[in-house]
A = this chain, B = another copy of it.
């Protein structure tokens, strides 16, 4: 086995946090490995050895950032599950996530590697958690198994987070998400 130096978990977290800050500030295209190296006082050689590419580093950094795990939420009702999800989200974190999505929106479309890494690391596990939560609601008889909105819950939730600042010029917060659940998501699911 090669005697390759490993980063400590603390050092790794620090690096990921710096990558995310740079992404929010400059967007994906504006993020350079030079800037990451400079802000984290590391060498570009180390960054490439550890992560292989900018796309991979960004995807790993995003994954490290995920604040609310849906898989842990199971209150016994769909309303309860969704409201818990909103309560556990922190406003500042949501605005930061929203800034990340804005910074990445163009890049993921232009860069299939990044899109793929993002899907595997961030979107698909989240979808699985959401599917699980919705499947339980169907099993309990709260939502009809053939309700066409079941497949569109991710579009509703992510759509709300992305459009709030664009349309209303205000950050996403728990109050907005709770209103959106009551006005849009629950009626669509027939809850």
Contacts and interface: CB of A to CB of B under 8 A. Distances in A.
B167 A158 contact: yes
Contact of A155 (B103, B164, B182): B164
B106 A106 contact: yes
B29 A152 contact: no
A70 B156 CA distance: 22
B115 A184 contact: no
A143 to B, nearest CB: 12
Interface string A78-116: 000000000000000000000101110110110000010
Nearest to A30: B29
Interface string A152-191: 1011101110111111010000000001101110011010
Given A102-B106, A159-B155, A160-B159, A149 B27 contact: no
Contact of A188 (B147, B154, B188): B188
- Per assembly, the copies of the chain total 2
A123 interface: yes
Given A105-B101, A184-B188, A187-B188, A158 B166 contact: yes
A166 B109 CA distance: 8
Contact of A149 (B115, B127, B183): B183
A99 B110 CA distance: 10
A9 interface: no
Nearest to A154: B167
A148 interface: yes
A102 B148 CA distance: 27
A172 to B, nearest CB: 11
Contact of A158 (B123, B127, B159, B183): B159
